[in-house]
């Protein structure tokens, strides 16, 4: 019994202390918005984001065996809940111009695009090898280039027009926390499954204009700050170097 325990003990220690693999990986998957980024309660503070697509290119270098450095270039895209956003944007403009009564038969035109972002991040990674598997934990921080959806709503009735546009792009601090499982059936190629939590923020420039035909339009600019957070679920290929 003692010999068996010693055997498995040495096997585990040997697997943990085995040489780490430096590798590149290309992963793709889905991005699931969370918290206020997925919220649909306020057109000025929540993101109305839906699930979308993400792709990441990672490089991992292990100068200290179990401990290494991870660098990531990550692209993400989230669709927008345009139905809820249109309804809340309409209510936002009614509150913004309380003296204007919008009739039920007013003409309303609305369009929007999707959320896009690119992350360039780096940070520490811990990788524990167990046979041909590597269990990873990592934390990264860096820059997030975020392009919010372009939004445009146009309301017209009698001699009055209300138009509101939102757009912008932000360069913000962002971070990712996550982990994964890397399987290397041979020394050169493998498969990786990952999950990461992404957090940042976006600035949206908004301009609303109400024109009743008298030549004195009421223009109200605003800057919206919307949190951006999502869970990335990915699968991809790895190449060891």
Per-residue model confidence as pLDDT tens digits over 58-76:
999 999 889 999 999 999 9
> 87 in helix, strand or coil?
helix
Averaged pLDDT, 83-107: 93
How confident is the model at residue 215, as a pLDDT? 81
Q: Report how far apart, in Å, the C-alpha atoms of 43 and of each of 14, 67, 113, 204 are.
A: 56, 44, 15, 11
> 170 in helix, strand or coil?
strand
Give CA–CA dist 209/122, Å, rounded: 43
Burial 87-118 (b: 16+ CB within 10 A, else e): ebbbebbeebbeeeebeeeeeeebebebbbbe
Share the mean pLDDT of the chain.
91
Per-residue pLDDT band for 19 (boundaries 50, 70, 90) equals low
Number of domains in the chain: 1
CA 141 distance to own-chain centroid: 13
How confident is the model at residue 25, as a pLDDT? 97
Radius of gyration in angstroms for the set of CA atoms belonging to the chain, rounded to a whole number: 25
pLDDT tens for residues 184-200?
Answer: 999 899 999 999 999 99
How confident is the model at residue 12, as a pLDDT? 44
Task: Provide the residue count of the chain.
Answer: 241
- The answer, yes or no, to whether residue 20 has pLDDT greater than 90, is no
- The answer, yes or no, to whether residue 212 has pLDDT greater than 60, is yes
Averaged pLDDT, 106-135: 96
How confident is the model at residue 115, as a pLDDT? 98
CATH number assigned to the domain comprising residue 65: 2.40.160.20
Q: Which domain holds residue 171?
A: 2-240
Averaged pLDDT, 167-180: 95
Q: Report how far apart, in Å, the C-alpha atoms of 207 and of each of 13, 95, 118, 160 are.
A: 62, 15, 26, 17
Looking at per-residue confidence, does 23 or 2 come out higher? 23
Q: Could you give the angle at the alpha carbon of 140 between the alpha carbons of 171 and 196, nearest 5°?
A: 100
How confident is the model at residue 214, as a pLDDT? 84
Q: Tokens at residue 67, please?
A: 């401990």
Q: Report how far apart, in Å, the C-alpha atoms of 177 and of each of 58, 134, 140, 232 are.
A: 14, 17, 6, 10
Give CA–CA dist 227/163, Å, rounded: 25
- The DSSP code sequence of 25-80 is EEEEEEEEE-GGGS--S-TTT---EEEEEEEEEEEEEEEETTEEEEEEEEEEEEEE
Per-residue pLDDT band for 21 (boundaries 50, 70, 90) equals confident
Give CA–CA dist 108/34, Å, rounded: 30
How confident is the model at residue 4, as a pLDDT? 47
How confident is the model at residue 40, as a pLDDT? 95
């Amino acid at each position: 019994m003692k010999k068996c325990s010693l055997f498995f003990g040495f096997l585990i220690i040997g697997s943990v202390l085995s040489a780490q693999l430096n590798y590149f990986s290309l992963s793709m998957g889905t991005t699931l918005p969370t918290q206020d980024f997925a919220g649909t309660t306020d057109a000025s503070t929540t993101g109305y984001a839906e699930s979308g697509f993400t792709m990441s290119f990672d490089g991992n270098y292990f100068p200290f065996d179990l401990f290494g450095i991870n660098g990531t270039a990550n692209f993400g895209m989230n669709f927008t809940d345009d139905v809820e956003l249109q309804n809340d944007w309409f209510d936002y403009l009614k509150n913004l111009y309380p003296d204007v009564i919008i009739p039920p038969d007013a003409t309303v035109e609305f369009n929007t695009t999707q959320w896009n972002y690119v992350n360039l991040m780096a940070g520490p990674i811990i990788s524990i090898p167990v046979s041909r598997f590597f269990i990873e934990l990592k934390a990264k921080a860096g820059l997030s280039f975020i392009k919010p959806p372009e939004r445009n709503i146009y309301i017209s009735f009698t001699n009055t027009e209300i138009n509101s546009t939102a757009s912008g792009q932000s360069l913000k601090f962002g971070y990712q926390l996550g982990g994964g499982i890397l399987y290397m059936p041979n020394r050169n190629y493998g498969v990786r499954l990952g999950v990461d939590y992404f957090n940042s923020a976006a600035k949206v420039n908004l301009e609303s204009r109400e024109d009743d035909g008298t030549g004195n339009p009421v223009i109200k600019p605003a800057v919206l700050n919307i949190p951006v957070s999502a869970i990335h679920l990915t699968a991809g290929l790895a190449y060891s170097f």
